[in-house]
Chain A
């Protein structure tokens, strides 16, 4: 039986053009630009000087505080400069620019491809290792992993859910990882289970990836407590709360965290990173990125070093098609449009999608006909038409009562609207203001 979440959801065209393209290792670029903030939380502080020689895996920026992560050099070479650059979000931030020479890794990293299944580290050591290795949630949110693995005092976690949903159209990096690194991913899952002290883990995978489902189901027989749960294809099933609901029936309370219902969710990519960090002592400095688009010549999945310019990735996929009108970092539903492509890949870059010009502009906005399709599509049980108007008209108190802060900005409402209204734009505006107002209330 396929499970899914009960309320709302949409079925955008899947367009998984790269599902059968094996992961290709992209050659080390001649220069990398490594931003010090690739995660949620405080930016890391650079610990290398201009001209310093570094090896791949060497710490180049130290986490600042608990909610922050370490940044490691993705290449070996010399620090060219520490400069202010524009990152994928379009904002400027500090980055360490390194000229690559050869590909020498820090000696402590086990570079062999052999699978290491036995977990020797203790619970505390695992969490510490994740912190040292700069692990973040690879699904896109980039929340520091060591915090997620630390169950807050007074809370109890009895289950781990692994997000293998990849419900965003086009993206296939998690899919390929499950197919090609299944055993490593499952070992990573076992490590996370140990860190959390849970006996059970469920890997949620949508039914449009039958090969990944059968592959992991088969492999999971050798791992204790791990089961694979096939899920009905429905966006936004990769949303944490929706995935928990789909897999367990538990409902995370409004404003709460998964751990409030005894669950921690980690992404497939994160599980692989945990494996590499704990078993191979390898910091997070490379990841799988899907580079795709309908008119892209050679779309594919690439293993790339963090800091690689997006332009290099686009070149690897056959160059930017002439008709390109928009480049999106991430999925088409929640990703961010890039103004320039000369920006570095970060730990959170799951995909680069190139849209033709005719698909890159929004359709003409018509009046709301109150069809209610947005309410039907909302997986959080909100009324997007209402909270959007409340945001637009600056009626923030009312918007707060209507639970605007529950919105996860999945975009299902704006996708489904037949009048093409920019629902999510105004909801974002309202949500940001409501959150700010709530913070001010607390500090007063």
Chain B
């Protein structure tokens, strides 16, 4: 018997799940929404996605290779996911150089500065998006009108998002019912027929991706369901109080970035709580802040801000919200 035996402490087997497979799973889950985006926005969606993914991966690689001088770890797939999510959070007519700036901020500032994968307190793609929103407010809020492959890239015909129409109209004293006439029907909203960031529009595709991630056990239901439920309840109360001044809950769930945020952005492992209880508090926080910003804030949309604000509470939630310990409550038989 000449075998040289390996010795290590137990356990002697590991699950087949790896970081890379999880990231690949997220990419697969994003595929339906990407397809929907290409369907509605044509070429622009493809260019924005490619530029964003390539720049995110490149920025991470270059920083690791030349600044940190560590072994590049882009093969873990996390930069690809960030790239996709950044693309999903910007309009499909965003010029290339702005996307690259977004990628540099997302990966360079929000991720690598903190020590790379696993150490960033804020969702990198959202930091990139908010940076761009503040730095390039015009380009970041000129939304192409969906017209399939006829939609141009930077020369696309643009229009306001349903949320912007609603927010502007209410400020001008118009009734919600009148404003509803100006925007697509709820069914159209569900399928994604509206202006908006390229990946956020098609609720049906995002939900499909979310269900896949739950089935694949990449995420649990806690964060998305709590966020969506909180938004529905909060806007539902407002709507019940005065339907002429507040839009209905379904409208809120189907428009803006709430679906994308709840299913893909808020569930980012690194920047979300690790216990079920923590996740529920975090989800409620995101839902409440989103509705506050949408209803009374200066921006028509607030999901990005809400998630970033709640990201900052995650270390606290992880520290104070503990799982129920086994055997804590002494029960004598």
How many Å lie between the Cα of A420 and that of B333 in the bound state? Answer: 40
Residue of B nearest to A410 (CB): B11
A362-B14, A363-B14, A366-B19 known; A261+B331 contact, CB < 8 A:
yes
The answer, yes or no, to whether A379 is at the interface (CB within 8 Å) is yes
The answer, yes or no, to whether B12 is at the interface (CB within 8 Å) is yes
Residue of A nearest to B218 (CB): A371
Are the C-beta atoms of A7 and B324 separated by less than 8 Å? Answer: yes
* CB proximity of A166 to chain B, nearest CB, Å: 16
A261-B333, A326-B12, A334-B10 known; A418+B323 contact, CB < 8 A:
no
Of the candidates A260, A338, A363, the one whose C-beta lies within 8 Å of that of B5 is A338
Query: Which chain A positions have C-beta within 8 A of B172?
Result: none
Query: Which chain B positions have C-beta within 8 A of A56?
Result: none
Residue of B nearest to A235 (CB): B11
Are the C-beta atoms of A383 and B5 separated by less than 8 Å? Answer: no
Of the candidates B1, B6, B76, B327, the one whose C-beta lies within 8 Å of that of A251 is B327
How many Å lie between the Cα of A318 and that of B275 in the bound state? Answer: 48
Residue of B nearest to A239 (CB): B326
Query: Which chain B positions have C-beta within 8 A of A341?
Result: 1, 5
Are the C-beta atoms of B270 and A158 separated by less than 8 Å? Answer: no
The answer, yes or no, to whether A51 is at the interface (CB within 8 Å) is no
* CB proximity of B74 to chain A, nearest CB, Å: 13
A256-B327, A325-B5 known; A369+B270 contact, CB < 8 A:
yes
Query: Which chain B positions have C-beta within 8 A of A12?
Result: 13, 15
Residue of B nearest to A371 (CB): B269
Are the C-beta atoms of A418 and B274 separated by less than 8 Å? Answer: no
> Which among B1, B11, B15, B118 has the highest number of chain A CB atoms within 10 Å?
B11
How many Å lie between the Cα of A385 and that of B318 in the bound state? Answer: 11
Within A355-392, which residues are at the interface with B (CB < 8 Å)?
355, 357, 359-363, 366-373, 375-376, 378-383, 385
Of the candidates B1, B7, B11, B323, the one whose C-beta lies within 8 Å of that of A378 is B323
Are the C-beta atoms of A311 and B333 separated by less than 8 Å? Answer: no
Are the C-beta atoms of A355 and B15 separated by less than 8 Å? Answer: no
Interface string of A311-323 (1 = CB under 8 A from B): 1000000001010
Residue of B nearest to A414 (CB): B11
Query: Which chain A positions have C-beta within 8 A of B150?
Result: none
Within A244-263, which residues are at the interface with B (CB < 8 Å)?
245, 248, 250-256, 260-263
The answer, yes or no, to whether A419 is at the interface (CB within 8 Å) is yes
Are the C-beta atoms of B118 and A367 separated by less than 8 Å? Answer: yes
A338-B5, A366-B19 known; A332+B11 contact, CB < 8 A:
yes
* CB proximity of B172 to chain A, nearest CB, Å: 45
Interface string of B1-38 (1 = CB under 8 A from A): 10111111111111101110110000000000000000
Residue of A nearest to B219 (CB): A371
Are the C-beta atoms of B118 and A372 separated by less than 8 Å? Answer: no
Residue of A nearest to B324 (CB): A381
Query: Which chain A positions have C-beta within 8 A of B182?
Result: none
Residue of A nearest to B274 (CB): A372
Overall SS of chain B's interface: loop
A261-B333, A367-B117 known; A337+B6 contact, CB < 8 A:
yes
Are the C-beta atoms of A415 and B323 separated by less than 8 Å? Answer: no
A7-B324, A251-B329, A261-B332 known; A416+B117 contact, CB < 8 A:
no
Q: Size class of A's contact patch?
A: 35 or more
* CB proximity of B131 to chain A, nearest CB, Å: 23
The answer, yes or no, to whether B97 is at the interface (CB within 8 Å) is no
Query: Which chain A positions have C-beta within 8 A of B9?
Result: 337, 424-425, 428
Query: Which chain A positions have C-beta within 8 A of B22?
Result: 369, 371, 418
How many Å lie between the Cα of A10 and that of B8 in the bound state? Answer: 21
* CB proximity of B203 to chain A, nearest CB, Å: 26
Are the C-beta atoms of A420 and B331 separated by less than 8 Å? Answer: no
The answer, yes or no, to whether B186 is at the interface (CB within 8 Å) is no
Are the C-beta atoms of B19 and A415 separated by less than 8 Å? Answer: no
Of the candidates A250, A325, A340, A355, the one whose C-beta lies within 8 Å of that of B331 is A250
Interface string of B70-85 (1 = CB under 8 A from A): 0001001010000000
The answer, yes or no, to whether A99 is at the interface (CB within 8 Å) is no
How many Å lie between the Cα of A263 and that of B331 in the bound state? Answer: 12
How many Å lie between the Cα of A392 and that of B121 in the bound state? Answer: 22
The answer, yes or no, to whether A159 is at the interface (CB within 8 Å) is yes
The answer, yes or no, to whether B330 is at the interface (CB within 8 Å) is yes
* CB proximity of B273 to chain A, nearest CB, Å: 8
Residue of B nearest to A341 (CB): B1
The answer, yes or no, to whether A409 is at the interface (CB within 8 Å) is yes
* CB proximity of B291 to chain A, nearest CB, Å: 27
Interface string of B314-327 (1 = CB under 8 A from A): 00000000111111
* CB proximity of B197 to chain A, nearest CB, Å: 25
Are the C-beta atoms of A383 and B322 separated by less than 8 Å? Answer: yes
The answer, yes or no, to whether A31 is at the interface (CB within 8 Å) is no
Residue of A nearest to B13 (CB): A332
How many Å lie between the Cα of A89 and that of B22 in the bound state? Answer: 37
How many Å lie between the Cα of A367 and that of B329 in the bound state? Answer: 35
Are the C-beta atoms of B323 and A381 separated by less than 8 Å? Answer: yes
The answer, yes or no, to whether B119 is at the interface (CB within 8 Å) is yes
Are the C-beta atoms of A326 and B15 separated by less than 8 Å? Answer: no
How many Å lie between the Cα of A424 and that of B11 in the bound state? Answer: 8
How many Å lie between the Cα of A261 and that of B330 in the bound state? Answer: 9
Query: Which chain A positions have C-beta within 8 A of B119?
Result: 367
* CB proximity of B20 to chain A, nearest CB, Å: 8
Within A417-431, which residues are at the interface with B (CB < 8 Å)?
417-420, 424-425, 428
A325-B5, A337-B6, A361-B6 known; A10+B326 contact, CB < 8 A:
no
Query: Which chain B positions have C-beta within 8 A of A303?
Result: none
Can you offer 23 A-B residue contacts whose CB atoms are under 8 A? A169-B13, A251-B326, A251-B331, A253-B328, A253-B330, A311-B1, A327-B5, A332-B13, A357-B6, A361-B6, A367-B116, A369-B19, A369-B118, A371-B269, A371-B274, A372-B269, A372-B273, A379-B326, A385-B274, A406-B325, A415-B11, A419-B118, A420-B14
Q: Apart from A369-B19, A416-B17, what 12 extra A-B contacts exist at CB < 8 Å?
A: A90-B7, A260-B330, A325-B4, A325-B5, A327-B5, A337-B6, A338-B7, A359-B13, A360-B5, A361-B6, A370-B269, A417-B14
The 5 closest A-B pairs by CB, nearest first: A411-B11, A372-B274, A262-B333, A367-B118, A254-B327
